[in-house]
Amino acid sequence: MLSIGELSRKTGVKIPTIRYYEQMKLIAAPERSSGNQRRYSKTELDRLGFIKHARDLGLKIEDIRELLTLAAHPEQPCAQANQIAANHLGSVRAKIAQLQRLEAELARMAEGCSSGKIENCYVIESLSNHALCSESH
Amino acid sequence: MLSIGELSRKTGVKIPTIRYYEQMKLIAAPERSSGNQRRYSKTELDRLGFIKHARDLGLKIEDIRELLTLAAHPEQPCAQANQIAANHLGSVRAKIAQLQRLEAELARMAEGCSSGKIENCYVIESLSNHALCSESH
DNA sequence: GCTGTTAGCTATAGAAACTATAGCTTTTAC
DNA sequence: GTAAAAGCTATAGTTTCTATAGCTAACAGC
């Protein structure tokens, strides 16, 4: 049996976050000690590890909730789980593309300025005048 | 003089967001019509355009606030404005790198699964077992 | 000048995923 | 037995908006 602090250390999930997940019903309310403190077993350790891993990959809580439900039904087809992963992959790729456009724009801004006075600052000017942008964003 | 709706259409900033920026003091409280509706001039149009552009580039409100203050002092050196842009560029690059790691991991997960049953689903298995990951994330 | 539609007003709550605080109690190690 | 560390609940704050409710103003057509 693990205390909340031990669970936190083993999973890398912060204590208030564990309690938050309990409130959001991502994890079940665990047993309590005689003094009303939370006590966790291996089941919950594994489940929280799963959640942590999925969150690190940027999956949303609602997606994780669905994946956890799916994981609890091993006999069902896994097309849905794949769909969630594939969708997320799509949005990660979209975000990368978007950030790369911003990167180009910011690099142009930061490098185009010779650090003189504000009145000639290319950063400020670029922000004021969208026409200076090379691409859409 | 523009109504809030016209200002919104011209800048692409939604009406509640304009009011929110006013509350946050990013833009000054504008004149009012006799019936208490907001009326904007070109000054505010330009300022809101600047804010929109900066937000589209992912800059935080507090950074934008600082850039606006800098822009109001054309005689001052622009090293600070460059610093803000350069810092942001750094964090955009870091985020891209992080997302590319996730992308690799998710692609491996999604492609590794042959869409059978949950019990053999590579997506679910990968999330359960961090050891299956190729790299750190 | 009346009416109807569109636009705008304020104040408050909600979204997402936590994080921080206050004030109190339990556990644990010596 | 006691002191320090850990845990408890409940509530509010973070960030950048977005949505809702209930009301009022502006404007176009008749």
User: Does A46 score more than 80 pLDDT?
Assistant: yes
The Cα of A81 is separated from the nearest Cα of chain B by a number of Å equal to 7
Q: Structurally, what CATH architecture does the domain formed by A4-111 represent? A: Orthogonal Bundle (1.10)
Protein-covered nucleotides on strand D (Cβ within 7 A)? 6-9, 15-20, 24-26
A55 CA vs C10 C1’ separation (Å): 38
The Cα angle at residue A90 between residues A85 and A93, in degrees rounded to 5:
125
Q: Which two tokens stand for residue B100?
A: 């590319």
Q: Write the pLDDT tens digit of every residue in B121-137.
A: 888 888 887 766 665 55
Task: Name the CATH topology of B4-110.
Answer: Multidrug-efflux Transporter Regulator; Chain: A; Domain 2 (1.10.1660)
Which residues from B are below 8 Å from A92, CB to CB? 99, 102-103, 106
Question: What would the mean pLDDT of A38-62 be, rounded to a whole number?
Answer: 91
CA-based radius of gyration for chain B: 23
Per-residue model confidence (pLDDT) at position A111: 80
Q: Which residues contact A53 (CB under 8 A, 6 or more apart)?
A: B126, B127, B128, B130
Which ipTM was obtained for this model? Answer: 0.73
Write out the two tokens for A120: 């000639």
pLDDT at A134: 58
For B21-63, the pLDDT digits (tens) are 998 889 999 999 999 999 999 999 999 999 998 888 888 888 8
**Residue pLDDT, tens place only, A66-124:** 889 888 888 888 888 888 888 888 888 888 887 888 888 888 877 877 767 888 788 88
Q: How far is the CA of A79 from the C1' of D11 (A)?
A: 42
Closest CA to A54 of B128, B101, B120, B111: B128
Distance CA B100, CA B23 (A): 37
